[in-house]
Structure 1
Amino acid sequence: MNWRPDTMTQTLGLIGSGMIGGALARLAVAAGLNVVLSNSRGPETLAELVAELGEHARAATAAEAAQAGDLVVATVPLKAYDRLPATVLAGKTVIDTMNYYPDRDGHLADLDAGTLTSSALVQRHLAGSHVVKAFNNIDFHRLFTLARPAGASDRAALPIAGDDEAAKARVARLLDALGYDAVDIGALAESWRSEPGTPVYVEPYFPARRPEGTSQEEAFRWFLDTPGVPVPADRVKELADTAVRA
C-alpha cells in the first residue's frame, strides 16, 4: 500500500488490539505509521502480532499507548469504557470504535433510555479528550480488504461523528491515509446513525446476506471468503440520513 500518512499523525496508539484493532494496526503500518498496541492481558500477549507488523510496531500498556499516540483508538468492549485512562488521554483525539451490545456489555441505563449515545457516554468519561466515532460500522475483515488509495474508483467511505471539528478533521485525514473517505454525520449526539441496526451498519459492505441454515464453521468461511462491497461517500451519507432512532 505505502500511502502517504497524515503528517500530523506519526504514531497511532491502540487501546485494544482485537479484530478491529488488529486490522487498523495493519493498515496503519502499511500507510507508514508507527503503532503502539495494548490490550487488557499485557504487552507480552501481543508478541505475535508485533512480530507480524514489524519494526514500526511495539506493545505497551494501555496508558503507554495512550501517551505515545498522536491519535488514540479506543477499541475495547463498551462495558470497559470507564477503564480508559482519562488522565493520560486528556487533550488527545480519541477514536471510539465501540458499539453497545447489551447481551455482552450488560444494560447501561443512559443507553437503554436513549438519553446518550454510546460515544457521548465515552466522551463523558473522557471529559478532557476529543472523542470521534469511527470504524464502528464495518466488520474487521472488510475494514482491511476494502482499503484503497485516494482517487481509486472503488474506494469506500466510512461515517465519522464528533463534537470537535478539528478532531474530526484529523480523523478524516487518518481515514484517508488508511484507505477510506470520511463522511461527517454530525455531532456525537448523532452518532447513533451508524450504530448497530441502522442502514449503514455492516450490511452495505456485503454483496448478500449470509445463507440460512449454515453451520457455524460454514458461516465463518462465508464471512472470510465473501468479498466486500465498496460503499461510496454519497451512499454512506444517504444511508445515515435515512436512519430512524429506535
Structure 2
Amino acid sequence: MLGAGHMGPIIARVAVEAGYQVSIAASGDPEKIALIVQVLAPGAEPLWAGDAVADADLVVLSMPVHRFMSLDPELVADKLVVDTMNYWPPVDGVVTTFDEDGYGSSEIVARRLSRSTIVKTFNHIGYHELDEERQTAGSPLRRALGVAGDDPAAVDTVAEVVEHIGYDTVRLTSLRAGRLLEPGGPVFGVPLQRVEFERALHADSITRGEGIQS
C-alpha cells in the first residue's frame, strides 16, 4: 500500500481482515505513520516505500494525484499496480498532467508507469463505505465494485481480491472503460448491487462506446 491518507489504511485493514499480508508506506519515515497504522489498520506493517513494494504481489496506489507525480516509476516497474486515485479538480486543484480531455486518470497513470500493469478499482467507493459495507459471498445485500484494466489476467487477479474482501465485481475490459468509474460517472459513489451496477454501466457505455464484461 502506497499512501496512508484516508483510503489507504482502510484498504489495508480490510485486506488484513481478509487474510492478506499487507505493508503500507507513505512518502517518508514509516515511524511517522506507525500510530495511524496501529489504530486504523492493525496487522499491517509500516515500511519504507521501497521495502513495502519489493516483495509485493499487488501494489496499491492511494495518494493524492499531485503526489503521484513525485512517485518514481522505477519503484513499481514490473509490478501489478492497483490505481485507487481520482482526479477531481474541485478537490485537488488543477494538475496539468491529468487535465487532459479524452483520457481517464488511470490511462494517464498507465502512461507514466509504462513498465507496470495497471488495474483500476476502489476509486468509486468512500473509505467508510468500503469498511462498513462488506458482505459475504451470496448475500443479497452485497455491493458491486468495478475493476478495469487492459490485461484480462491482471483484472481477474484484482477482482479475486476485491471479492475476497467482501464485494461482487463487474469487470471492465479496458482502462479506457474505467472512465465510467470516475467522478461524474454513473456508478461513482452510488451503492449498487451487481445487476444494477451492470445496468448503469451499460446505459452509459452505449454513448461512450466502452466495453464491460461480467
Q: Same fold by TM (over 0.5)?
A: yes
Give the match for residue 199 of structure 2: 238
Displacement after TM superposition at 1:153 (Å): 2.0
Q: Is the 8 A contact 1:38 1:59 kept in 2?
A: yes
Q: 2:8 matched to 1:21? A: yes
Match of 1:181 among 163, 168, 171: 168
Counterparts of 1:177-216 in structure 2, within 5 Å, are 177-202=164-189, 204-205=190-191
Query: CA-to-partner distance for each residue in 1:16-35, whole Å, 9 max, x for gaps?
Result: 02221111111011111111
Once the 2 structures are TM-superposed, how far is the Cα of residue 94 of structure 1 from its aligned partner? Answer: 0.5
Match of 1:169 among 152, 156, 175: 156
Q: 1:110 to 1:15 in 2, by over 3 A?
A: closer
* Residue segments in structure 2 that go unaligned for 5+ positions in a row: 209-214
Matched position secondary structure for 2:128: helix
1:1-246 aligned within 5 A: 14-52=1-39, 53-54=41-42, 56-109=43-96, 111-202=98-189, 204-205=190-191, 231-243=192-204
SS, match of residue 183 in structure 1: strand
Q: Report how many aligned residue pairs link the two structures.
A: 205
For 1:162 and 1:180, locate their aligned partners in 2 and report how far apart those are by CA, in whole Å: 18
User: In the alignment, is the contact (CA less than 8 A) between 2:13 and 2:44 conserved in 1?
Assistant: no
Residues 236 and 106 (structure 1), Cα distance of their counterparts in 2 relative to 1, 3 Å cut: same
CA deviation after TM superposition for structure 1 residue 188, in Å: 0.8
CA spacing shift, 1:241–1:108, aligned 2, 3 Å: farther
Deviation at 1:62, TM superposition (A): 2.0
Counting aligned pairs with the same residue, the percent is: 36
The answer to whether the 8 A contact 1:42-1:61 is kept is yes
Q: Distance in 1 between matches of 2:109 and 2:60?
A: 12
CA distance in 1, matches of 2:37, 2:116: 27
Take 1:39 and 1:200, find their aligned partners in 2: how far apart are those partners? Answer: 29
Query: Residue 145 and residue 106 in structure 1: after superposition, are their counterparts in 2 closer, same or farther (change >3 A)?
Result: same
Give the greater-gyration-radius structure (CA).
Answer: 1
Structure 1 residue 133, shift from structure 2 partner? 0.5
Q: Distance in 1 between matches of 2:102 and 2:122?
A: 23
What residue is the counterpart of 1:227 in the other structure? none
Contact 2:147 2:155 in 1 (8 A): yes
- Give 1:131 shift: 0.4
